[in-house]
Chain A
Amino acid sequence: MATADTKLTAKKVKFVVTRQDDPKSASYTEEFELDYRPGMNVISALMEIQRNPVNLKGENTSAVCWESNCLEEVCGACSMTINGKPRQACAALIDNLEQPIRVEPMRTFPVVRDLVIDRSRMFSALKRVKAWIPIDGTYDLGPGPRMAEKKRQWAYELSKCMTCGVCLEACPNVNEKTDFMGPAAISQVRLFNAHPTGEMNAEERLEALMEEGGIEGCGNSQNCVRACPKGIPLTTSIAEMNKATSKHMFKRWLGV
Chain B
Amino acid sequence: MKGFYSRKLHSLLGVIPLGFFILEHMITNFSAVEGGSQGFKDSVALLNSLPLVIVLEIFGIWLPLLYHGVYGMYIAFQAKPNNTRFKNERNLRYLLQRITGVLVFAFVIWHLYETRLQVALGNVTHEELGGVMHDIVMNPVFFILYLIGVISAAFHFSNGLWSFLVSWGITVGPRAQRVSSYICMTMFAIVAVLFTWSLFAFRGVEFQAEGTALLETIRVFVG
Residues of A within 8 A of B (CB): 84-85, 170, 172-173, 175, 177-178, 210-223, 226-227, 233, 235-236, 238-247, 249
Contacts and interface: CB of A to CB of B under 8 A. Distances in A.
A233 B176 CA distance: 14
Contact of B169 (A170, A177, A227, A240): A240
B58 interface: no
Contacts of A210: 2, 4
B221 interface: no
Contacts of B85: 84-85
Nearest to A180: B78
Contacts, number: 101
B131 to A, nearest CB: 41
B3 A226 contact: no
Interface stretch (B41-49, B160-168, B187-195, B202-210): B160-168
Given A211-B4, A212-B2, A239-B172, 9 more contacts: A212-B4, A214-B3, A216-B8, A220-B90, A221-B94, A226-B86, A226-B88, A236-B174, A243-B172
B86 A170 contact: yes
Given A220-B166, A243-B168, A236 B82 contact: no
B79 interface: yes
B117 interface: no
Interface of B: 2-5, 7-8, 75, 77-82, 85-86, 88, 90-91, 94-95, 97, 163, 166-174, 177
18 contacts: A172-B79, A172-B80, A172-B81, A172-B91, A173-B80, A175-B80, A177-B80, A212-B2, A220-B166, A221-B94, A223-B91, A239-B166, A239-B177, A241-B169, A243-B168, A245-B4, A246-B8, A249-B8
Nearest to B90: A222
Contacts of B82: 170, 172, 223
A247 B172 CA distance: 14
B15 to A, nearest CB: 14
A216 B75 CA distance: 11
Contacts of A215: 4
Contacts of A177: 77-78, 80
Nearest to B2: A212
B43 to A, nearest CB: 35
Contacts of A170: 82, 86
B86 A216 contact: no
Contacts of A218: 167
A241 B169 CA distance: 7
B167 A235 contact: no
A86 to B, nearest CB: 9
